[in-house]
Amino acid sequence: MKKNFSTLALPLLAFLFVFTSCKKDDPEEVNEEEEINRVVLSVFQTGASQQDTYTWNEGETIPSIALSANATYQVSVSFYDASDASDIENITEEVIEEADEHYVFFETAGANLTIASASTDTTDSDNIPINLNTQWTTAAASSGSVRVYLIHEPTTKSGTSRDDFGGETDVEVNFPVTIQ
């Protein structure tokens, strides 16, 4: 009888060991990506009294930004989910809360324009500005474009082209620019 019990006990113990060690992993928290279908640039020329707003809505024509030559501008960028016109969500608030995981990159082409972080910009935990508030300085008359990227989880926050930053592009908008 001892032989029969040990013959049955060994497979039973092996089964119990495998069964109890194969438990499901805890589910991963899903951080659902927001839909960004509106980008707003608020442009205020230093010394002027008015602010210009340039709004891109997905599926619509991208507005052209008009700037004066040899001038300085304070520019803020905001991101929205405008899928439901009765419930427009300001995604910028989430970008600020998750500053370590976001970076706004501006890529210029053709326009005599320099873009730098403003002193009022939001910074991440390493005190790196994320470019929600920038200073644009124009030079001689020209035309070109400013491409705005919101980058999610960049591998670095320094570079001169989009490829330098890694991560994923949450939204990309190419605004035409004319400097007169």
Residue showing tokens 């001892």: 2
* pLDDT over 60 (residue 22): no
In this prediction the pTM is 0.81
Higher pLDDT, 139 or 25: 139
Collapsing DSSP to helix, strand or coil, 127 comes out as coil
Element (H, E) at 12: helix 2-21
The whole-number pLDDT of residue 95 equals 97
Please compute the mean of the pLDDT values over residues 74-96 and round it to a whole number: 97
Query: Which range, of 34-38, 40-44, 79-83, averages the lowest pLDDT?
Result: 34-38
pLDDT (0 to 100) of residue 11: 57
Q: Please report the pLDDT score of residue 2 as a whole number.
A: 52
Residue pair 146/104 in contact (Cβ under 8 Å)? The answer is: no
Residue 5 has pLDDT above 70, yes or no: no
